[in-house]
Structure 1
Amino acid sequence: MARNKYDVDEELVSVFRMKDLIRLLRYMKPYKLTIVVTVMLMLIASIANLLGPVLVQDAIDNRIPDKDVNGLIILSVIFAVTLIVNAICFKFRVRLMSTIGNNIVKKIREDIFYKLQELPFSYYDSRPHGKILVRVLNYVNSLSDLLSNGFINFITDMFTLVCIVVFMLFINVKLTLVSLLGLPPLIITIMFIKNIQRRNTQALSMKQSNLNAYIHESICGVKVTQSFAREKKNESIFRELSIAYRKAWMKFTKSNFILWPIIDTISTSGVAVLYFAGIIWIQGVSVGVLIAFISYIWRFWQPIANMGNFYNAMINAMAYLERIFETIDEEPAISNLPRATEMPQVKGQVEFKNVGFTYDEEAGNKILDNINFKVGQGSTIALVGPTGAGKSTVINLLSRFYDVQEGEVLIDGINIRNVTLGSLRSQMGVMLQDTFLFSGTVMSNIKYARPDATDEEAIQAAKTVCAHDFIMNLKEGYDTEINERGTRLSIGERQLISFARALLADPRILILDEATSSIDTRTELALQNGLQRLLKGRTSFIIAHRLSTIKNADCIMYIDSGSIVERGTHEELLALKGHYYKLYNSQFSVLEAV
């Protein structure tokens, strides 16, 4: 897949893969009994529907010449019964298959969503989110009609086609053979256009994905767009993507609807030939037989047309199924090992042993190189250093958002790769620099990591991190609705709510990545006491550019170019007059002079 690009097409397999179809059919397995009942109903309806021309033939050739009024009444009653049976069966088929189809679509969408919950950060870092979203919604929705009607109609149409041929052979063998002359050119046409249809469907899928990716990116970045007055440029990009999508749609439409007029032309030509043959053999063919036969020949081409539509739907579905199953089959880069065990109650001792890591193994540039340190239970460790030095990578490895390529990370002497992700992360509290709030109330956001907490516990957590006062000033206090990402709140307010969320989780290991970067100085001073209570008894890792927040840390590690170049307490590092000393003076020299 394209790396964070909305203007690069995704690669698609060019051949029809039967395994994708078989896999889709497996989703229907739990409903096989209902499907069998539905098929039986449709077969009954099909037989009832096919009795009509035979009844008409009997009426024209026998009942009317013989002036058999009672016979005509009986035929009329039978004909009416066939119509009623057909209507009832159709009603139940629509109801049953609509339910099954939507249940299957729901299950496929759930499978994709559940997989997306498991995939690591690297998956999302390397893909436009709009191209992921289109799979969960558009691609899955495109399967709805195929699952609700397609397969059942195909089985029914196959059965109907066989029955029609049997009825036609029963009435007149010669006319039946004439009627089948149109099948060879139809089969040749289908074989010719199938690859064109698939290529055009794939192209449409790719252009739809590109357009969706750019729309998603533009909505997320609308504030930046307006800040730099880039609306016209973005409109130009969107117009180009829309034109590409429109061209792909037109090609798709042309190839998708070419089959129906071909079938219609062949069927009409077949009827014309049938009339001609009937005239030639008029002495051996009664009027009733010819009328009945004409009725069957029109019905003969109807299921063929339906199967042609089903074929189109299948070609379309394969292009989407390829992307859907690709997502479901994506192997999580971070997952539980086969023999992973539950992490015991964490005490808080952390050790990095000869850890090496790179985000791009092909490039070979190490973000961390031979990192070694050991942290005691309940200690507070601060990580400082220039941007890109590897500070956030340390906590990403500790949280196992990524796995180390060299060395190992131990908690209480246990390699974190040997325990389950759930048991590890449930005992850790992480507050990232990019705070994210979900749509819902302030209270629900604080309780996100611990839904079973009481309101009183949540409020106490908010008080501890100095978030209570501003929350109470909101229109509805803790019941105030927050929109997606909490954009109506200031960045500092969002960080305080995230702080309360982390505190409420009561983790044994706490990770704060620039937790106070957007909090004003007054709030930060008030927060210091709360922080001390928060950090007490927990092993804590703090990344901070504001050195005032880490002066009391048990150990400060200065990281640069992927290595720990200095470590010690605040006073010890100042005494060294090295990197930390220079960094500290650059921030506080003016304040100390005052």
Structure 2
Amino acid sequence: MSEEKREIKPQVESGPRHGPGAQMHFEKPKNTRSTLMRLVEYLAAKKFQLVLVVILMLISTAGSLAANYFLKPLINNYIIPGDFNGLARALVILACIYLVSVGATYGQSRLMLQIAQRMTNTMRRKLFAKLQILPLKYFDTHTHGELMSRFTNDIDNVQMAFEQSLVQLFSSALTFVGSIVMMIVLSPILFLVAAILLALMFFFARFFTSRSGKYFKDQQRNLGNLNGYVEEMVDGLKVVKVFNYEDKANREFQKRNEDYREAATQANFYSSVIMPVVMNLNNISYAAVALVGGLLTVMGSFDIGSLASFLQYVRQMGMPVQQISNQMNTILAALAGAERVFEVMDQPVEVDEGSVTLVGANKNTDGFVEVAHNGIHPTHWAWKVPMADGTVDYVELKGDVRFNDVTFSYEPGTTVLNHVSLYAKPGQKIAFVGSTGAGKTTITNLINRFYDIEEGTITFDGINVKSIRKDDLRKSLGMVLQDTHLFTGTVMDNLRYGRLDASDEDCIQAAKQASAHSFIKRLPQGYDTMITSDGTNLSQGQRQLLAIARAAVADPPVLILDEATSSIDTRTERLIEKGMDALMKGRTVFVIAHRLSTVRNANAIIVLEHGEIIERGDHADLLQQKGRYYRLCTGQFELT
């Protein structure tokens, strides 16, 4: 990442966003209705399965309610009269009711799990596809952990809610309402007795749920702080040891760990106390109803079968209250997570209005003619330019890049480049030298159109880069960055990342050109050696050599080297000089370097300061000027 962009402050959301678990907030969504409607759109794709889930849910609930009511005729009609044959038949019917209810419950759970998995799979796929078309500025202002949490914590919360909580919530609500209806049908008087204690259950459940929700937010915030600190300390363990920071690190960890313990204790206390309180109140309600119901039965105004059924509904009524209380936090966390995912999906995408494309071409007496790819990497390229009259013109890709009075800023009011004009003729090597923040990397970012300029123009072979389709523009450019990134896979896979249709021979030749072949052959499995964790099994210099070889595989007409040899020792640098010269031959090359030895043979060296060009010329010219470059070479001034 460029030095200029490091000054941009990330737009951090409320609360810490570092470390795993930092996003698992039990927070309320900002716009519940809108988020819920968008989730419904995802569910709509499985509407037939959802209808079946609802039907199965109704069957399951009805079966549970019916089984309890069946106790009335079972006792009154068969047990009390002593009709054992009738009792056996009734028990078979009761068993069938339970079996149907259990089967419906299994079916609804299985179907909802599949729906939730497919739904979140679609969300992840769309979110990942969205990231591919977001502008680079978005990633400059959001941390990697913050974006990763969308794929993990946030979508996992949605999945969990739809797999379990949503069905359980509706099922509990149906069971609760059904139980109340059946209780009123059986005995309005007994229902009044139960209703008083039911109101107390609701009051305590709401009280403890609100308290637990508050402390769960504190718990997750402190967990985020704790995990973020552990991650930071593990990543910087060498620095910790070098500066004897162990005692301070331990004290800081103990403080954060204690904060997490206190919040977790409170959160889990209020969460765990809900069930005992609700169940005890339910037991009291059960005892009160049994007492009053027994008196009514003795007095002859109520029958034993109805009392048994009523008591079952009283017992059943407490569980939905507790389940609804528990599931609300999960539902709210899912809605908040979905809202955060949708915030990313709603970000404006990278605008590309270019119509000029890059094609393989051959030159004949009439000019350039487009040629079929046929799986063979073209040796000549041309810009395919649509004309106003509907015809097509072909412009040879030479690598002529020009900046004309370019002004640019990453953030309004903070100018990074100020009226910069420069040019690179085809085949020239242009080097940029300057202090950190001078604007060197910004220039290369603008060539790639990672950002668009505010004033001036940038042309590529006489074509405004804004007219060139971004994918085609970047296909013509090869970059070797200071911070190398290797992907999990073999060495050959990483080399082929430069050009996916490259053959093994192409990759090996590129590795030889970049002087990477010798060390690759010494690896345990040579080109088939697996690279993991961004190349931690390789030295920094080896990773840099692979990045250079990857650029060679791409075989781009224009090459950008951003501190490409900064991590390579002097001996290795000398070894690859010939290879780099061969790689640069016939190409326009832009070089950014603090190591001045890498720019001495440049056709032009441009010295930048505060976003402006203060000197330009080749090595000998700049030494004669005895300006900033001269002082750099003679050690009178250092790059910072």
Shift, 1:498, TM fit: 0.4
Is the contact between residue 198 and residue 319 of structure 1 (CA under 8 Å) also seen in structure 2?
A: no
Structure 1 position 358 matched with structure 2 position 372: no
Corresponding letter in the other structure for 1:285: F
Taking structure 1 as reference, are residues 24 and 207 closer, same or farther at Cα in structure 2, changes over 3 Å only? farther
1:271 and 2:286 aligned: yes
The answer on 1:490 being equivalent to 2:539 is yes
Q: Check if 1:91 corresponds to 2:140.
A: no
Q: State whether structure 2 residue 327 is matched by structure 1 residue 305.
A: no
Partner SS, residue 568 of structure 2:
coil
Kindly report the root-mean-square deviation, in angstroms, between the aligned alpha carbons of the 2 structures.
3.1
1:291 aligns with 2:291: no
Residue identity in the other structure for 1:161: F
User: Which residue, out of 209, 231, 244, partners 1:216?
Assistant: 231
Q: Counterpart in 1 of 2:477?
A: 428
Partner of 1:435, secondary structure, is coil
Q: Give distance in 2, aligned partners of 1:554 and 1:530.
A: 18
Runs of 5+ consecutive residues of structure 2 not aligned to the other structure = 1-7, 18-22, 359-381, 384-396
Greater displacement, 11-20 / 479-488 = 11-20
CA contact (8 A) 1:382 1:541 kept: yes
Structure 2 counterpart of 1:562, from 611, 624, 627:
611
Question: Which residue among 19, 26, 31 is the counterpart of 1:17?
Answer: 31
Residue by residue over 1:120-176, the C-alpha shift from the partner in whole angstroms, topping out at 9 and shown as x without a partner, is 555555555444444432343333331102212222233333333333333223323
Q: Report the Cα distance in structure 2 between the residues aligned to 1:298 and 1:519, rounded to whole angstroms.
A: 74
Alpha carbons 2:29, 2:335 under 8 Å: kept: no
What residue in structure 1 maps to residue 427 of structure 2? Answer: 378
Task: Say if 2:78 is the partner of 1:27.
Answer: no
Residue 514 of structure 2: aligned partner: 465
Shift of 1:311: 1.6
Q: Residue by residue, what CA displacement relative to the aligned partner does 1:326-373 show, whole Å, maximum 9, x if unpaired?
A: 4444446xx124x45464455223222322233443xx4433211112
Query: In the TM superposition, what whole-angstrom CA distance separates every residue of 1:36-60 from its partner, at most 9, and x where no partner exists?
Result: 2122123212222222233322121
Instruction: Flag the 1:170–1:449 CA change in 2: closer, same or farther, 3 A.
Output: same
CA distance in 1, matches of 2:593, 2:210: 58
Q: What pairs up with 1:395-474 in 2 under 5 angstroms? A: 395-417=444-466, 419-474=468-523
Query: Paired residues, what number?
Result: 582
Query: Secondary structure of the residue that 1:484 maps to in structure 2?
Result: coil
Q: How far apart are residue 383 of structure 1 and its match?
A: 1.0
Question: Deviation of residue 207 (structure 1)?
Answer: 2.7
Alpha-carbon distance in 1 for matches of 2:476, 2:436: 28
CA distance in 1, matches of 2:105, 2:96: 14
Quick one: which of 537, 540, 543 aligns to 2:586?
Answer: 537
- Alignment of 1:316 onto 2:333: yes
Please state if 1:581 is matched with 2:620. no
> 1:342 & 1:183 partners in 2: Cα distance?
72
Inter-partner Cα distance in structure 1 for 2:91 and 2:530: 66
- The verdict on how the C-alpha distance between 1:258 and 1:574 changes in structure 2, with shifts beyond 3 A counting, is same
Which of 170, 180, 190 is 1:175 aligned to? 190
CA distance in 2, matches of 1:268, 1:418: 76
What amino acid is the match of 1:17? N
In structure 2, what residue type is equivalent to 1:445?
A: N
Instruction: Find the aligned partners of 2:250 and 2:134 in 1 and give their Cα distance.
Output: 33
* Equivalent position amino acid for 1:309 in 2: N
Alpha-carbon distance in 1 for matches of 2:577, 2:586: 16
Q: Give the CA deviation at 1:78.
A: 0.4
Aligned to 2:68: 53
Q: Indicate if the aligned counterparts of 2:28 and 2:333 stay in contact, CA closer than 8 A.
A: no
In the TM superposition, residue 572 of structure 1 has moved relative to its aligned partner by 3.1
Offset of residue 193 of structure 1? 5.6
Aligned pairs for 1:512-551 within 5 A: 512-551=561-600
What is the Cα deviation at residue 478 of structure 1?
0.9
* CA offset digits 1:215-249 (Å, max 9, x no partner): 33333333333333433333333333333333332
1:393 aligns with 2:442: yes
Q: Distance in 2 between matches of 1:565 and 1:519?
A: 29
| Cα separation, 2, equivalents of 1:205 and 1:420 | 45
Q: Is contact 1:134–1:209 with CA below 8 Å preserved after alignment? A: no
Structure 1 position 471, deviation (Å)? 0.9
Question: C-alpha separation between the residues in 1 aligned to 2:520 and 2:151?
Answer: 35
CA distance in 2, matches of 1:68, 1:422: 84
CA contact (8 A) 1:6 1:211 kept: no
Distance in 2 separating the partners of 1:392 and 1:23: 40
Instruction: Looking at secondary structure, tell me which structure has more helix per residue.
Output: 1
CA distance in 2, matches of 1:319, 1:584: 57
In structure 2, the CA distance between the partners of 1:311 and 1:517, relative to structure 1 (3 Å rule), is: closer
Q: Secondary structure at the match of 1:28?
A: helix
Deviation at 1:294, TM superposition (A): 0.3
| C-alpha distance 145-48 of structure 1, shift in aligned 2 (>3 A) | same
Q: Secondary structure at the match of 2:182?
A: helix
Letter in 1 for 2:565: T
Aligned partner (choices 349, 368, 379) of residue 400 of structure 2 = 349
| Shift in alpha-carbon separation, 1:237–1:407, aligned structure 2, 3 A | farther
SS at match of 1:485: coil
**In terms of mean alpha carbon deviation, does 88-97 or 290-299 score higher?**
88-97
- In the alignment, is the contact (CA less than 8 A) between 1:384 and 1:544 conserved in 2? yes
Distance 1:420 1:212, change over 3 A: farther
Do 1:466 and 1:526's aligned partners in 2 also have CA atoms closer than 8 Å? Answer: yes
Distance 2:122 2:225 in 1: 26
Give the aligned residue type for 1:290. L
Q: Is the partner of 2:478 in helix, strand or coil? A: strand
CA distance 1:252–1:420, shift in 2 (3 Å): farther
What is the rounded CA distance, in whole Å, between the counterparts of 1:549 and 1:2 in structure 2?
A: 32
CA displacement at 1:561 relative to structure 2: 2.2
**TM-score, scaled to structure 2:** 0.82
CA distance in 1, matches of 2:161, 2:14: 30
Asked if the contact 1:59/1:72 (under 8 Å) is kept, the reply is yes
Residues 192 and 325 (structure 1), Cα distance of their counterparts in 2 relative to 1, 3 Å cut: farther
CA apart distance, 1:535: 1.9
Describe the shift of the 1:366–1:481 C-alpha distance in structure 2 as closer, same or farther (beyond 3 A). same
Shift of 1:415: 4.1
Aligned match of 2:176: 161
Q: Name the aligned partner's letter for residue 406 of structure 2.
A: V
C-alpha distance in structure 1 between counterparts of 2:183 and 2:356, whole Å? 69
**Compared CA separation, residues 422 and 219, structure 1 to 2 (3 A):** farther
What is the percentage of aligned positions where both structures have the same residue?
36
Paired amino acid for 1:49: S
The aligned residue for residue 388 of structure 2 is: none
Distance 1:198 1:408, change over 3 A: farther
Aligned-residue offset at 1:73: 1.8
Give the letter aligned to residue 294 of structure 1: L
For residues 427-470 of structure 1, the C-alpha deviation after alignment (integer angstroms, 9 at most, x for no partner) is: 32111111222232211221223233211111111011111011
Describe the SS at the equivalent of 2:430: strand
Question: Does structure 1 retain, via aligned residues, the 8 Å contact 2:205–2:278?
Answer: no
Give, as a single letter, the amino acid of the residue that structure 2 aligns with 1:358: S
1:4 deviation in Å? 9.8
